[in-house]
Amino acid sequence: MPNQPPHPNYVRIFDTTLRDGEQSPGATMTSAEKLQIARALARMGVDVIEAGFPAASPDDLEAVRRIAIEVGNPDPRHNGHRVPIITGLARAVKSDIDAAWEAVRHAARPRIHTFLATSPIHMQYKLRMTPREVVQRVREMVAYARSLTDDVEFSPEDAGRSDPEFLYEVLAAAIEAGATTLNIPDTVGYTTPEEFYRLIKGIMEHTPGIEQVIVSVHCHNDLGLATANTLAGLMAGARQAEVTINGIGERAGNTALEEVVMALRVRHDVYGLETGIDTTQIVRVSQMVSRITGMAVQPNKAIVGANAFAHEAGIHQDGMLKHQQTYEIMRPEMVGWPKSRLVLGKHSGRHALRVRLEELGYRLRPEELDEIFREFKRLADRKKTITDADLMALVSEERGLAPEEEVFHLEAAQVVAGTGMPSATVRLRGPDGQVHIATAVGTGPVDAAYKAIEQVVGVQPVLLEYVVNAVTEGIDAVGEVTVRIQPAEAEARPSPQGTARPRTFGGYAADTDVILASAKAYLIAINKMLAARQSDPADTAPASAAA
């Protein structure tokens, strides 16, 4: 079997943030953003990165190809760093498999992941294929994929609602045809942990040849059971878990990487299983994904939510002061939450900043450090003490947009708030280098600032989501703003499952002034929309114009 795991209790972490995660409504990412996330996943120790669905569009293929080349090969600067397997998803048709192979073949460890539905409802209504035809197609397409590479994963889509006997037959055909990983998806998040355990156990016991392959699980969260089902599958013998950062994905999402990895670590006594994840990088990657997708993490989200380690009730605080384990089952530092709260101040130098950022896991290029240092000094003028959380917000903010994606730059914003007529004036530098100034009145200062930006840029996107969070405590806290927008009458792009996904764009910014952060976040999202329009005019143009 290719790419043998190091030992029988090793669970491969297969991250599909860039494929299933990107299918979340609103989580579309640019190619540069996908590359940034893929790098972070590799650094964190993810075993397999599903980088996309190459057959969806030439852009998607190119994004996967870039990741295969740049993340899927040994990097001399990171000696000893394990190189992840890079995979791309393909329906069980030749053209999809060819596209996936074209994209991943540049990686040192390429994998093709192909799938075909096996539940009665999918076979009858979606595929219009008989069970015999399904078995035959699986045989042919897995064999075809295997003729291209020796690492092939097959998924019987909607396995959770498939007849187990039929599954054993389909999976045996896939093994005979050369599949090396068999992934069992609960595509619609329907099964319960007990059922899923029995399903995987049954597959382990009744599928001829199963000992030659790795069994994987892929659970959706429609009933909030994704993590429980994944763990049940691992207990039954699966040794690969398919997950996404922050649990993003189709509908209610996928199993969250951070939850499975930390459950295996904290409850090693129960599971006896290990992963290769450096858990101290979890929070940083979670925040990166949230910023890039514009999908805020709910404060009470396990492991990565802002309140996951906050103790509010007096009785809890009292207990914590007496012994940390009274109310904490893991230390926040284990997952990368900052250990110390007060770190730097106005008099801290560039060196201290660099050292602290490195401790937090950020390795910046000298020019990036210069930029962050300038921003740090500006912040220190307004805020007495700069916490780790402030620093993390600052770095996320500065890395918000690759320079080539910045079409309009916000130079200044001024608002008048209060009852009466809230208004805003913005000064933007446009792609022509010209300065544009506009003033608008709105229902509040943020609305006014957004209207003024729209006047300059000449677009009026639909604002789908606007979320403000305070990163730190106190009146001088840094506020972070995440927005998601959609072009008016946006075109939809197909997902692997054939569902339409309207293209939306996210923006993230942080500042002690939340109005400024709001304006910056909005402009970042608009810039992404404009950049996408330039690279693929049909993608974001109003439906009438595209027709």
The binding site for ligand KIV (CB under 6 A) comprises 20, 89, 115, 155, 157, 183, 185, 187, 218, 220, 496
The site partner of 487 among ligand KIV, Zn ion, none (C-beta below 5 to 8 Å per kind) is none
CB contact set of 291 (below 8 Å; sequence gap of 6+): 396, 400, 482, 506, 508
Alpha helices in 294-337 (DSSP H): 314-322
Binding piece for Zn ion, criterion CB under 5 A, among 19-27, 36-44, 292-300, 309-317: 19-27
| Angle at alpha carbon of residue 530, lines to 37 and 408, rounded to 5° | 95
Report the residue number, 20 or 258, with the smaller CB distance to Zn ion.
20
Of residues 50 and 539, the one with the C-beta less far from Zn ion: 50
Closest CA to 21 of 33, 6, 9, 11: 33
Residue nearest to Zn ion (CB): 20
CA gap 292, 236 in Å, rounded:
35
Counting residues that bind Zn ion (by CB under 5 A) gives 1
Q: How far is the CB of 16 from Zn ion (least distance, A)?
A: 7
Please check whether residue 452 is in contact with residue 430, taking contact to mean a CB–CB distance below 8 angstroms: no
Q: How far is the CB of 22 from ligand KIV (least distance, A)?
A: 11
Which region among 16-24, 141-149, 230-238, 537-545 touches Zn ion (by CB under 5 A)?
A: 16-24
Q: Are 5 and 276 in contact (CB under 8 A)?
A: no
Of 96 and 539, which CB lies nearer to ligand KIV in the complex structure? 96
Find the part of the chain contacting Zn ion (CB under 5 A) among 1-9, 12-20, 426-434, 454-462.
12-20
Nearer to ligand KIV by Cβ, of 155 and 518: the residue is 155
- What DSSP designation does 477 have? P
Yes or no: say if 449 and 414 are a contact pair by the CB < 8 Å rule.
no
Q: C-beta of 153: minimal distance to Zn ion in Å?
A: 13
Distance of CA 28 to the CA centre of its chain: 10
Q: Which is nearer to Zn ion, 12 or 291 (CB)?
A: 12
Contact of residue 240 among ligand KIV, Zn ion, none (CB under 5-8 Å per partner type) = none
Return the one option of Zn ion, ligand KIV, none that residue 157 interacts with (CB less than 5 to 8 A, by type): ligand KIV
Of 249 and 507, the one with the shorter C-beta distance to ligand KIV is 249
Q: Which is nearer to ligand KIV, 84 or 336 (CB)?
A: 84
Residues 250, 255, 258, 260, Cα dihedral to 10°: -170
Helix (H, G, I), strand (E, B) or coil at 345: strand
| Phi, psi dihedral angles at 526 (to 5 degrees) | -65, -40
Please, what is the minimum distance in Å from the beta carbon of residue 301 to ligand KIV? Answer: 21
On whether the CB atoms of residues 385 and 346 are closer than 8 A, the answer is no
Residue with Cβ nearer ligand KIV (115 or 190): 115
Q: Can you tell me which of 20, 22, 158, 539 binds Zn ion, judged by CB under 5 A?
A: 20
Nearest to 355 by CA among 341, 373, 378: 373
Partner whose footprint covers residue 117, from ligand KIV, Zn ion, none (CB < 5 to 8 Å by kind): none
CB of residue 148 to ligand KIV, shortest distance in Å: 19
DSSP run (H or E) holding 6: none
Instruction: Quote the tokens at residue 472.
Output: 């730190």
Q: How far is the CB of 20 from Zn ion (least distance, A)?
A: 4
Any alpha helices (H) in 155-253, and if so which ranges?
164-177, 193-206, 226-235
Beta bridge partners of 467: 482
Q: How far is the CB of 179 from Zn ion (least distance, A)?
A: 18
What's the CA gap between 507 and 182, in Å, rounded? 37
Token pair belonging to 392: 């993390």
Least separation in angstroms between residue 291's CB and Zn ion is 23
User: What stretch of H or E contains 20?
Assistant: none
Question: Of 20-28, 83-91, 288-296, 369-377, which part binds Zn ion (CB under 5 A)?
Answer: 20-28
Query: Cβ of residue 463: shortest distance to ligand KIV, in angstroms?
Result: 29
Give min distance, CB of 23 to ligand KIV, in A. 8
For 346, which DSSP code?
A: T
Q: Which is nearer to Zn ion, 20 or 60 (CB)?
A: 20
DSSP result, 381-414: HH-SEEEHHHHHHHHHHHTSS-GGG-SSEEEEEE
Which of the choices ligand KIV, Zn ion, none does residue 115 contact, using the CB cut-off of 5 to 8 A by kind? ligand KIV
Q: Which is nearer to ligand KIV, 14 or 337 (CB)?
A: 14
Q: Which residues contact Zn ion by CB under 5 A?
A: 20
